A and B are shown apart, each in its own frame.
Chain A
């Protein structure tokens, strides 16, 4: 058994330092997923944490000025004004009506200051079974071909 303590010691050092790397400063890397209504209920703590808020981009709400893109996120009839101040260009999927995920902090001005935006067209990425894509303007009913008409 004796010769194994060296292996054990080295492993402990390695795993220990990895755990330390993983936990030290983790709070600066965390961001909390919140819906707009949860965000409204948070009160002042909302300004101290890194948050991720999702919603649909309200049509015609996107404006651009001085390198800052402003828009409104809507979810369940609640609206949130967002100002994108990040460095990277906005994704190509960022446009009226698409689902967006804003990563940033709530400002004292009631505007959400996002550092990062992810966006996707809902119907493309999460197709619901049996429901045809929105652009096909027909009431549709999914049926397995084997059992279909």
Chain B
């Protein structure tokens, strides 16, 4: 069985090589049938990698403990759900998962674009296959998922596996890697299209139009993945941290930042023919950061101190990145004349300028995160001392950056192209501006003393107000014309230009997330050693220990505390934080108990016991729910932006929100 899987991977490797040769040769020698066989080869690779993945999943599900991968990532008593998730629970499996996703994306790209973009497709196939070959080299020769356990040349079977890391046995962690990987892998396709356009000097912006949906869907996956990781950390790690600037978290944030910059600056190219070189750089940076992210999470180069780190895949990733980056730089430099800008910047207060600064800030933050993450590696190279930077450093830098971006989120979309008139500034920003000052004043008078929270909340008001005003004005214009109700008008407005109003919703999601982040300085933390019957207090809450219990399941043993929560003498029910000890992996996890409300979360962690005294970590986290609500709004907004607009190309400019202008000729 595992022989068939390994053979399939080996064949996939050969056919990927063939795909490159045949499509490039077919294109250069102008032999359509050769190019066509390249397309078929991509489909064949998908079949083969799927077969290999299917065999691995079957082995995981059926518990074939002859395989080293199965034995080290599953055990008999694990739930089938988690056995399946073990596919991406370890290095070998997750690399195979990468290959499989890439093969799937490649097949979908071939099937959906082969009608219209025949001229680009051979190059696209060649580039995707190069990436696929890299991962198949890892799958075949470096980190094979089909290694068997053997003793004296005889294959042996372990009696039971070690089990999946218990921290990963949590629903958000099961779907977090697939989302992140869908995002990581997905950027390969827009990257391949961009490079193909560059290689073949394809005229126009067709690669952007072709890949807009890809990019947006990929970005959606990535955003979801990042937020799931954040939610997982909050719910599982036992002390409510949702972002720690851990290298692995940073690895997921880096391509997101670059991808977000790309999504914005690509509009400049679509509408104005500007920033062409920049967009090439951004999409390449995003792609390489995706590879880098995979490398960072899989090689342990940074978080590890000397001894932790020897993954066999490291040198391969570094070589691939170096080769790829060098090739892209050469290609862009060689084609500079093809990427000449068609327009120039005119005014500081213009849409163009706001895109420019949005890009600058996103890129700067991306660089800062990269620098901070790699600081141990960099410092070791240049000073022989390995030095790491703590979360405080990241916060000192990233909180102001985040706030500035938040402000731009409000300003940018309302600036007009080319230059913005004073009248339009007054019209768009008077109410939000005054309102945000009132919010800030009210917070200060109300006794708030954390400058960042005050700035954040007042910016949140500002941005939210500009967005609401946009919807309001646009919907009103429609209502006056058609006489429909207000809400149908909002829907109509959004439907007419889903990109614009979907984008506003995404911005609204970001605003809501920032409301959640603003609550951070007000967190309360207490640690209690309690006996049954004790009563302790945190914030407005009173906790009474009703009992301490324990139990056993085949997979894990558990202990729990029953805590009756009351506020102002009124009972709010019983919370039951518990602690699990997983037998196969000999590791324990905390199952925190949460009382989540819009104003604050009460967060209880059972940290263990000594004799009959249990240790409870209690926290109150104000406003945290808004982070998750904001993430959902962001996802919803992105989905709206993916719906085709009802009115094609009605790119209404700022002055005429939501109405279709027939007097303006929009460039094709």
A: residues with CB less than 8 A from B are 3-4, 6-7, 10-11, 14-15, 17-18, 21-22, 25-26, 28-33, 35, 52, 54, 64, 67, 75, 87-93, 95, 99, 101, 103, 118, 120-130, 132-133, 135-136, 138-146, 148-149
Residue contact B155 to A92, C-beta cutoff 8 Å: no
Residue contact A149 to B154, C-beta cutoff 8 Å: yes
- Smallest Cβ-Cβ distance to B365: which chain A residue: A18
Residue contact B386 to A124, C-beta cutoff 8 Å: no
Q: 16 other contacts beyond A29-B393, A91-B238, with CB at 8 A cut-off?
A: A7-B356, A14-B360, A32-B386, A54-B306, A88-B239, A99-B308, A124-B585, A138-B149, A140-B156, A141-B150, A143-B150, A144-B146, A145-B3, A146-B3, A148-B150, A149-B150
Chain B nearest CB from A91 CB (Å) reads 8
**Within B428-448, which residues are at the interface with A (CB < 8 Å)?**
none
Q: Decide yes or no whether B6 CB sits under 8 A from chain A.
A: yes
B: residues with CB less than 8 A from A are 2-3, 5-7, 10, 68, 71-72, 90-91, 142-144, 146-156, 158, 162, 165-167, 237-239, 241, 300, 303-312, 345-346, 348, 353, 356-357, 360-361, 364, 368, 371, 376, 385-390, 392-393, 396-397, 400-401, 404, 525, 527, 585-590, 605, 607, 610, 617
Q: Assuming A124-B585, A130-B147, is B72 touching A21 (CB within 8 A)?
A: no
- Smallest Cβ-Cβ distance to A90: which chain B residue: B607
- Smallest Cβ-Cβ distance to A67: which chain B residue: B527
- Smallest Cβ-Cβ distance to B304: which chain A residue: A126
Residue contact B148 to A143, C-beta cutoff 8 Å: yes
Residue contact A33 to B376, C-beta cutoff 8 Å: yes
Task: Give the residues in chain B near A148, CB-CB below 8 Å.
Answer: 2-3, 148, 150, 155
Chain B nearest CB from A106 CB (Å) reads 16
Residue contact B364 to A18, C-beta cutoff 8 Å: yes
A-B contact pairs, 15 of them (CB 8 A): A25-B396, A29-B392, A30-B389, A33-B306, A35-B305, A54-B306, A89-B527, A93-B587, A132-B71, A133-B162, A140-B149, A140-B151, A141-B153, A142-B148, A148-B155
Residue contact A127 to B91, C-beta cutoff 8 Å: yes
Q: Assuming A132-B71, A143-B148, is B309 touching A126 (CB within 8 A)?
A: yes
C-alpha spacing A122/B369, complex, angstroms = 27
Residue contact A89 to B617, C-beta cutoff 8 Å: yes
Residue contact A121 to B397, C-beta cutoff 8 Å: no
Residue contact A89 to B300, C-beta cutoff 8 Å: no
Q: Assuming A132-B149, A145-B144, is B3 touching A18 (CB within 8 A)?
A: no
Residue contact B151 to A141, C-beta cutoff 8 Å: yes
C-alpha spacing A88/B72, complex, angstroms = 30
Residue contact A145 to B353, C-beta cutoff 8 Å: no
Task: Give the residues in chain A near B300, CB-CB below 8 Å.
Answer: 125-126
Q: Assuming A18-B364, A127-B72, A132-B158, is B589 touching A92 (CB within 8 A)?
A: yes
Chain B nearest CB from A78 CB (Å) reads 13
C-alpha spacing A149/B7, complex, angstroms = 14
C-alpha spacing A100/B145, complex, angstroms = 28
Task: Give the residues in chain A near B304, CB-CB below 8 Å.
Answer: 126
Residue contact B155 to A3, C-beta cutoff 8 Å: no
C-alpha spacing A121/B147, complex, angstroms = 22
C-alpha spacing A26/B393, complex, angstroms = 7
**What 9 pairs across the A-B complex have the smallest Cβ distances?**
A29-B393, A33-B386, A146-B6, A54-B305, A145-B2, A145-B146, A145-B6, A133-B72, A136-B158
- Smallest Cβ-Cβ distance to A33: which chain B residue: B386
Task: Give the residues in chain A near B390, CB-CB below 8 Å.
Answer: 29-31, 103
Chain A nearest CB from B407 CB (Å) reads 12
Task: Give the residues in chain A near B389, CB-CB below 8 Å.
Answer: 26, 29-30
- Smallest Cβ-Cβ distance to B3: which chain A residue: A145
Task: Give the residues in chain A near B143, CB-CB below 8 Å.
Answer: 129
| Contact partner, B155, options A18, A22, A144, A149, Cβ 8 Å | A149
Residue contact B306 to A89, C-beta cutoff 8 Å: no
| Contact partner, B605, options A89, A101, A127, Cβ 8 Å | A89
Residue contact B527 to A7, C-beta cutoff 8 Å: no
Task: Give the residues in chain B near A133, CB-CB below 8 Å.
Answer: 71-72, 162
- Smallest Cβ-Cβ distance to A87: which chain B residue: B525
C-alpha spacing A143/B67, complex, angstroms = 10
C-alpha spacing A4/B310, complex, angstroms = 49
C-alpha spacing A133/B147, complex, angstroms = 13
Residue contact A33 to B148, C-beta cutoff 8 Å: no
- Smallest Cβ-Cβ distance to B159: which chain A residue: A136
C-alpha spacing A25/B394, complex, angstroms = 12
C-alpha spacing A25/B397, complex, angstroms = 11
Task: Give the residues in chain B near A118, CB-CB below 8 Å.
Answer: 303
Residue contact A138 to B156, C-beta cutoff 8 Å: yes
Residue contact A21 to B396, C-beta cutoff 8 Å: yes
Residue contact A99 to B149, C-beta cutoff 8 Å: no
C-alpha spacing A101/B385, complex, angstroms = 17
Residue contact A121 to B68, C-beta cutoff 8 Å: no
Residue contact B357 to A92, C-beta cutoff 8 Å: no
Task: Give the residues in chain A near B357, CB-CB below 8 Å.
Answer: 10-11, 14
Residue contact B166 to A92, C-beta cutoff 8 Å: yes
Residue contact A89 to B607, C-beta cutoff 8 Å: yes
C-alpha spacing A122/B304, complex, angstroms = 11
Task: Give the residues in chain B near A139, CB-CB below 8 Å.
Answer: 151-152
| Contact partner, A132, options B72, B142, B361, Cβ 8 Å | B72
Residue contact B155 to A132, C-beta cutoff 8 Å: no
- Smallest Cβ-Cβ distance to A127: which chain B residue: B72
C-alpha spacing A28/B21, complex, angstroms = 54
| Contact partner, A121, options B368, B386, B587, Cβ 8 Å | B587
C-alpha spacing A123/B143, complex, angstroms = 16
Residue contact A128 to B305, C-beta cutoff 8 Å: no
| Contact partner, A99, options B91, B307, B348, Cβ 8 Å | B307
| Contact partner, A126, options B311, B348, B364, Cβ 8 Å | B311
Residue contact A21 to B397, C-beta cutoff 8 Å: yes
Chain A nearest CB from B617 CB (Å) reads 5
Chain A CB within 10 Å — which of B148, B386, B401 has the most?
A: B148
- Smallest Cβ-Cβ distance to B238: which chain A residue: A89
Residue contact A64 to B610, C-beta cutoff 8 Å: yes
Task: Give the residues in chain B near A129, CB-CB below 8 Å.
Answer: 142-143, 147, 312
Chain B nearest CB from A67 CB (Å) reads 7
Task: Give the residues in chain B near A35, CB-CB below 8 Å.
Answer: 305-306
| Contact partner, A18, options B148, B239, B368, Cβ 8 Å | B368
Chain A nearest CB from B395 CB (Å) reads 10
Chain A nearest CB from B184 CB (Å) reads 20
C-alpha spacing A147/B144, complex, angstroms = 12
C-alpha spacing A88/B240, complex, angstroms = 10
| Contact partner, B308, options A30, A67, A87, A126, Cβ 8 Å | A126
Chain B nearest CB from A93 CB (Å) reads 6
Residue contact A92 to B167, C-beta cutoff 8 Å: yes
Task: Give the residues in chain B near A11, CB-CB below 8 Å.
Answer: 357, 360
| Contact partner, B361, options A7, A14, A25, A91, Cβ 8 Å | A14
Q: Assuming A29-B389, A92-B167, A142-B68, is B310 touching A126 (CB within 8 A)?
A: yes
